[in-house]
Structure 1
Amino acid sequence: MSTSHEGRADRADRGTDGAETSARTVTCANCGRTNRVPAAAQGTPRCGNCRAPLPWITEAGDADFREIAEQATLPVLVDLWATWCGPCRMVSPALEHVAERLAGRIKLVKVDIDKSPGLARRFEVQAVPTLLILDQGRQVARQTGAAPANALRQWVDEALSASHGSADSASGRPS
């Protein structure tokens, strides 16, 4: 079953502390119900109706990157992009496809480097798109340039396997 993009819309809500937080509505690929998925939360987003995992796709900037990406409980695929970049616009649907296919396993966080120069400096972005995989806030993989969805999915799978394999060996658990 495929995920419908028609049910998606970004919107802002007021959090319990009064701060504005972004949320996206996502249509469940399993049952078709729409669900609100916040930019930052504990755990993984699941459909309120059928409990199927939902794709977690959001945006972050200099001010909220720590909360949205570094404190995420899932591994995070970070897309450092720019509006003027043709390859960035081409790779965006492929990244969303990967996030949909890996719902419940990764979170996709998009960062516009022109609006977030601090993050561009921090991650030493010299070309866009630059893709990162963060696991518990630690960078475990990096790739520059656009690629088709199947190549991106393979890169993400390999990075997650390597990251969890090294974490398991460090903790003494079998991988």
Structure 2
Amino acid sequence: MTIPNTPGGAAPSSMNLRGAVDLSALKARAQAQASSAPTAAQGAGGAASPGAGSAPAGGSPYIVDVTEQVFPQLVQLSAQVPVIVALGASWSDQSSQVLSALESIAVEQAGRVLLARVDFETQPGIAQAFQAQGVPTVVGILKGQPVPLFEGALPEAQIRTYVDELLKVAQANGVSGSLSDAPGAGPAAGEPAEEPLPPHHQEAFDAIEAGDYATAAAAYRKALAEQPADADAKAGLAQVQLMQRLQDADATSLRTAAADAPDSVEAQLAVADLDLSGGHVEDAFARLTTFIARSSGEDRETARVRLLELFDIVGPTDPRVNKARSALARALF
């Protein structure tokens, strides 16, 4: 099923978001947390700007302001509920009109969708990921995949049509959860209750929600010390370390540094992190395999180790990982 195009609201013909990051280690647990309390949505927004306050945008737990650093958390939540990404700008009256309509719809849906507001000017990485050429641009995310909706201003009635259609697509693809915490909400009759997280994993998840990535990393290391074969802890640690590295990063500066210093392992690793966090999985892998192929010694090994960490984040069964492993083998030998 496709989202219909309407005059004045044509969807982009293509996107540069080649399958956003699948947080394989945290995904299943995060879904359970997100569906049981709206604080999961607040966590996505709160972690966006550590120290700046975690209250959800617009006073609703179903509306969050998003930065590049926490974009992967939206991808994570999109396996549970549809995420509507609205790119706008404060100077744009059309953006204000569209956001007002979407905010009303998000509140009415009461947890069936999450509205992610993105500032087009201060978050260029997200705008670039969706190849947004102007504001407002509105895109859905389902199971980590972008669903183009519309560009420009539309009447509220048409916007509601797009959201209704997105919900139908979500339902057809098994994305039918809720972020609400209505009284009595819980597993349906006959469904097994979600098993509790192991203690160290719960500690890590709570720390991630609070934006305390150092504590989360320490918790995952404790889990690995006790169970070295814990694949979820290994992937979780790699993801948290990625969040730590990008927490205060400036996307433009990182890309400029990498372009100016193609032989700098630090610069190339930083942009690979940035690409992966924004959903450019294949770009991140290709950047590091190319660097490894032309490098030697300690730099080569450093890049190889980081690439393996990124493989853990995306997940060992992802076909992009299998393809990149083959490319890595060719680069090494």
TM-score bin (small chain): 0.5 to 0.7
User: What do residues 90-140 of structure 1 show as CA deviations (whole Å, max 9, x unaligned)?
Assistant: 222111111112112100000001110111111100121000111122112
User: What do residues 20-55 of structure 1 show as CA deviations (whole Å, max 9, x unaligned)?
Assistant: 46223887xxxxxxxx84xxxxxxxxxxxxxxxxxx
Counterpart CA distance in 1 for 2:69 and 2:58 is: 24
Is 1:129 equivalent to 2:136 in the alignment? yes
Q: Would the aligned equivalents of 2:63 and 2:114 in 1 still touch at CA under 8 Å?
A: yes
Q: Would the aligned equivalents of 2:68 and 2:125 in 1 still touch at CA under 8 Å?
A: yes
Counterpart CA distance in 2 for 1:140 and 1:25 is: 23
> Out of 111, 116, 141, which is 2:118 matched to?
111
- 1:22 to 1:159, Cα distance in 2 relative to 1, 3 A: same
Q: Give the structure 1 partner of residue 75 of structure 2.
A: 70
Is 1:144 equivalent to 2:151 in the alignment? yes
Taking every aligned residue pair, what percent have the same amino acid on both sides?
32
Q: Would the aligned equivalents of 1:141 and 1:159 in 2 still touch at CA under 8 Å?
A: no
Runs of 4+ more than 6 Å apart: none
The structure richer in strand per residue is 1
RMSD over aligned Cα atoms: 2.6
- 1:101 to 1:114, Cα distance in 2 relative to 1, 3 A: same
Counterpart CA distance in 1 for 2:57 and 2:89 is: 24
Counterpart CA distance in 2 for 1:138 and 1:24 is: 24
The structure richer in helix per residue is 2
Task: List gaps (5 residues or longer) in structure 1.
Answer: 1-9, 28-35, 38-55, 169-175
Correspondences of 1:4-153 after superposition (within 5 Å): 19-20=50-51, 22-24=54-56, 37=61, 56-67=62-73, 69-72=74-77, 73-153=80-160
| Structure exhibiting the larger radius of gyration computed from Cα positions | 2
Q: Would the aligned equivalents of 2:84 and 2:138 in 1 still touch at CA under 8 Å?
A: yes
Counterpart CA distance in 2 for 1:97 and 1:25 is: 13
Matching residue's letter, 1:71: Q
- 1:57 to 1:88, Cα distance in 2 relative to 1, 3 A: same
Q: When the two structures are aligned, how many residues end up with a matched partner?
A: 126
TM-score norm. by structure 2 comes to 0.35
Task: List gaps (5 residues or longer) in structure 2.
Answer: 1-41, 175-333
User: What do residues 64-101 of structure 1 show as CA deviations (whole Å, max 9, x unaligned)?
Assistant: 1111x211121111101111212001222111111112
SS at match of 1:22: coil
User: What do residues 152-173 of structure 1 show as CA deviations (whole Å, max 9, x unaligned)?
Assistant: 11111112212432x25xxxxx
SS at match of 2:63: strand
